[in-house]
Homo-oligomer: A and B are copies of this chain.
Amino acid sequence: MRFITAGESHGPVLTTIIEGLPAGMPLNINEINEALAKRQEGYGRGNRMKIETDKVEVTSGVRHGKTLGSPVTFSVVNKDYKNWQSVMSAEPIEEELSKKSRVVHRPRPGHADLVGGIKYHHKDLRNVLERSSARETTMRVAIGAVASQLLSALGVEVVAYVCELGGIKGQVDVSEMSLAEIRDRANQSPVKMVDAEKEQQVKDKIDETKKAGNTLGGVVEVIAEGLPIGLGSYTQWDKKIDARLAKAMVSINAFKGVEFGDGFEVGRRYGSEVMDEIAYNAELGFYRLSNHLGGIEGGMTNGMPVIVRGVKKPIPTLYRPLQSVDIYSKEEYQASIERSDTTAVPAASIIAQAVVATELTQAILEKFPNDSFDELQQAVANYREYSKNPDMWLEEE
């Protein structure tokens, strides 16, 4: 499976093409739209999200509710575009108009503006910010929603929630909860946290921060259960499933770190404290007594839940301005506000879930035959049977 996302933040349409999905897979478009709606939610969002109500249109690769095996195209119309038509027109516009109207020459710290302008020789920094905008993540959520449907039909569930926001950590031990429970709690929470007791505290912090013209970051966690054993591989560095998940997570706008299982804590503990001992019974086959390593050993899924966390920095656009320099005049100024979320960490949990689901789907499609979806389902089912039955594995030939 490969995909490319396209589209400017205030352009007419966001588009993605996904190539290499199995044929005959049921695709529920409503569920994709529900995922998009979740990305737009979250306590602390600003006004743009009120303008848009993202819905995908499917223009290829799906017929009568099932994939065709051909490339799938999604597009999402930007409603706000109607206010930006001449600014964002693909066609040349009159000199007068192009020269002055909304040319951006004041790069915002923490954004791609300045570097992108230099790299691509853009003299209007709008040419950078339109694409570097997190609006792009709309399409990654749409792709992730397809991946989630595929995974779900194979018995794999992926959930995400906010485990920390503005320095306030949830205290609930999710390892004791079912994924369904985690998902329900996160869905009901305006800050996508599982720990309901911390919720009000977090909302208060968001309110205060907003008043102060500041912004907040946080940490999100994604958990995937029911994965086949042995996704990824140790045989070459670029095949390791954790390495690939790390890339996917850090590729999300504003993410500055990623960790698996006990994460950075494993560097502070003894070896005897962080290994997942092996046990066996006839029903489960081989299994683990703990999950310090987040479901991954040797760059492969080991049958325990995959646990990935990512940290998102606070949104760099502040009401309280940052120092910057006008690229033309070289005069210092206080950086302008392009948009105004106080925090987008709740949305980030939805995006993180999407990219993890996408990468796990990739790994499944690499391991199992998948021209058709029934072939894939059958192969995964057979392999599950095999992998928990050592006699099938170890029998003499």
A226 CB within 8 Å of chain B: no
Q: How many copies does the complex hold?
A: 4
A144 to chain B, nearest CB (A): 12
In the bound complex, residues from chain B placing their C-beta under 8 Å from that of A233 are 69, 119
What size tier do the contact residues of chain A reach? 35 or more
Q: Is B229 touching A119 in the complex (CB atoms < 8 A)?
A: yes
Indicate if A118 sits at the interface (CB-CB under 8 A): yes
Q: A216 interface residue, CB < 8 Å from B?
A: yes
Instruction: Tell me whether A235 and B393 are in contact in the complex, defined as CB-CB below 8 angstroms, given that A286-B325, A371-B119 are known contacts.
Output: no
Contact of A393 among B121, B218, B335 (CB under 8 A): B121
Q: B19 touching A236 by the CB < 8 A rule?
A: yes
In contact, B256 and A266 (Cβ under 8 angstroms): yes
A80 CB-CB contact with B under 8 Å: no
Q: Which residues of B contact A156 (CB under 8 A)?
A: none
Taking a contact as CB atoms under 8 Å apart, the answer to whether A238 and B257 are in contact is: no
CB distance from A139 to the nearest CB of B (A): 10
- Please choose the segment from A45-53, A193-201, A268-276 that sits at the chain B interface, where 4 or more of its residues have CB less than 8 A away: A268-276
Quick check: B11 and A315 within 8 Å, CB to CB? no
- Map CB proximity to B onto A251-281 as digits: 1 under 8 Å, 0 otherwise: 1100011111111101111111011111110
Q: Are B250 and A240 in contact (CB under 8 A)?
A: yes
Q: Which candidate, A147-155, A174-182, A183-191, A296-304, is the interface stretch facing chain B?
A: A296-304
Contacts of A110 in B (CB 8 A): 271, 274-276, 293, 297
A6 within 8 Å of B (CB atoms):
yes
Does A207 sit at the interface, judged by CB under 8 A? no
A192 at interface (Cβ–Cβ under 8 A)?
Answer: no
User: Which residue of B15, B68, B242, B297 is within 8 Å of A115 (Cβ)?
Assistant: B297
Q: A115-B229, A121-B371 are in contact. List 8 more A-B contacts (CB 8 A).
A: A5-B17, A8-B61, A8-B63, A23-B127, A128-B234, A238-B251, A256-B264, A275-B322
Report 8 cross-chain contacts, Cβ distance below 8 Å, ordered by A residue: A7-B73, A59-B75, A65-B90, A68-B127, A70-B130, A121-B371, A237-B252, A368-B369
